[in-house]
Amino acid sequence: MPPADDDGVRRAIRQAVSVSVATGAYGISFGALAVAAGLDLAQTAALSLLMFSGGSQFAFIGVLGAGGAGGAAIATAGLLGVRNALYGVRVAPLLAATGWRRYAAAQVTIDESAAVATAQPTLAATRAGFWWTGVGVFVLWGASTILGAVLGDALGDPRRYGLDAAAPAAFLALVWPRLGGGRAGRTARATALAAVVVALALTPVVPAGIPVLAAAAVAIVIGWRGPAPEPVPTPVPVPDRPVQP
Amino acid sequence: MSTFAMTWWAILAASAVCFALKLAGHLVPDHWLSQPRVARTAALVTVALLAALVGVQTMTAGHQLVVDARLPALAVAAGALALRAPFVVVVLAAAATAAVLRALGM
């Protein structure tokens, strides 16, 4: 962790802390939903420590909870993790991490750490923002996941508390910022609509987990054949709302 | 193999895939992945997966399409998002809506 020796670095650390705390509450809901999907405490904790990517984790338990096969759950989680590779491309040259730090940096390369890092004005602030956010979210996400799993276990039937509606609401909150204005937003909205239609149409006729993967195939076709290149939107850190773990 | 063991294998395999993707971003020469087409496709895949998950988790039960308390709950979540509510508020509002509607017998 770089020393907090200037205003830019201190501001980056403040942002990192607020983003980390915001994801804590989100981790509680993940823990509760993972238990509701049939995982035990150790499995739920393992997902948050090893997979450590909110979207992938929610999708993974969603597919398993719906009775999908392990292969479909792995594929869905993996596809949702592709964007982390792109974040890595963007932050790696800024971090210039070597040795074991490079592996640590890779593990904590997620929406929040990439967003806070790339939003900073100086190199020192960028590095502070990345590490403080990455490590902060990692610690609080893991702790809150365990808390959520314990609470979820104590609650009993998740449907009584509407927890089965919490998961799609979480996914909606994750996709919402990506459907914004401009031409990129239009393409994203059209893709989202096509994905929903394809997934719902296939649900009665294919095994669980496959409809969601088919929707990803739609996006690959749209993205690959797309018109002129569009700039990749840089995630903007919103202190009170995680960009997307 | 038991379901329990299968779940563990799936967790470890999926975690390995996710870590490999993160590490790839740090290790590959950046011109490989910074092509606009790759970036655009990856962004759209994320959108499609999340949107499909919203649809499937709101309107299906097993292999059937169903409309129940989850749909109005999702509408409430969308309203909360439109009002820029924090993430936690969005999720809790949806859960509370579904819980109340079920308590009322929907």
What pLDDT sits at residue A120? Answer: 87
Query: Does the distance separating the beta carbons of A105 and B19 come in below 8 Å?
Result: no
Task: Say how far apart CA A163 and CA A183 lie, in whole Å.
Answer: 35
What pLDDT sits at residue A245? 45
Nearest CA in chain A to B55: A196
Q: What is the pLDDT of residue A57?
A: 95
**Confidence at residue B91, expressed as pLDDT on a 0 to 100 scale:** 86
Residues in chain B closer than 8 A to A54 (CB atoms): none
Q: Which two tokens stand for residue A132?
A: 């403080």
Give the chain A residue whose CA is nearest to the CA of B3: A70
Least confident of A15-24, A194-203, B45-54: A15-24
pLDDT digits 0-9 by tens, B31-56: 776 678 888 888 898 899 889 989 99
**Cα–Cα distance measured from residue A98 to residue A101, given in angstroms and rounded to the nearest whole number:** 6
Round to the nearest angstrom and report the end-to-end CA distance of chain B.
39
Range A77-104 average pLDDT: 91
pLDDT of residue A201: 96
* A24 half-sphere exposure, CB direction, 13 A CA radius: 15
Q: pLDDT at position A119, please? A: 82
When pLDDT is averaged across residues B77-97 and rounded to a whole number, the result is 92
pLDDT value for B23? 96
- Give the residue ranges of DSSP H helices in A37-122: 41-46, 54-65, 70-80, 82-95, 100-107, 111-118
For the stretch A115-166, pLDDT in tens is 889 888 899 999 999 999 999 999 999 999 999 999 988 877 777 888 888 8
What value does the mean pLDDT take over residues B76-81?
97
Mean pLDDT, chain B, integer: 91
pLDDT of A226 above 60: yes
A–B CB contacts, 8 A cutoff, strictly below: 323
How much of chain B exceeds pLDDT 70, in percent?
96
Optimal mutation site among B56, B68, B104, interface A, most CBs of chain A within 10 A: B56
Cα atoms in the 13 Å half-sphere on the side-chain side of A197: 8
Question: Looking at residue B46, what is its pLDDT?
Answer: 86
Verify whether the Cβ–Cβ distance A67 to B62 is below 8 Å.
Answer: yes
| pLDDT attached to residue A239 | 46
Distance in Å, alpha carbon of B21 to nearest chain A alpha carbon: 5
Q: Model confidence at A174, in pLDDT bands (50, 70, 90)?
A: confident
Question: What 3-state class would DSSP assign to A5?
Answer: coil
For the four alpha carbons of A52, A53, A55 and A60, in that order, the dihedral sign comes to negative
Higher pLDDT, A133 or A237: A133
- Residue numbers in B near A185 (CB within 8 A): none
pTM: 0.80
Whether A179 has a pLDDT exceeding 50, the answer reads yes
| Confidence at residue A235, expressed as pLDDT on a 0 to 100 scale | 56
What is the pLDDT, as a whole number, of residue A5?
63
What is the reported pLDDT for A232? Answer: 52
For residues A98 and B32, give the distance between their C-alpha atoms in angstroms, rounded to a whole number.
20
B12 touches chain A (CB under 8 A): yes
Q: Which residues of B touch A107 (CB under 8 A)?
A: 19, 22
The whole-chain average pLDDT of chain A stands at: 86
Answer yes or no: is pLDDT of B11 > 90. yes
Which of A176, A205, A244 to mutate to probe the B interface, most B CBs <10 Å? Answer: A176
B 30-59: CB under 8 A from A: 30, 33-34, 36-59
Residue A1 has pLDDT above 60, yes or no: no
With an 8 Å Cβ cutoff, are A219 and B91 in contact?
Answer: no
Alpha helix segments (H runs only) across chain A: 7-36, 41-46, 54-65, 70-80, 82-95, 100-107, 111-118, 123-155, 163-175, 182-202, 210-224
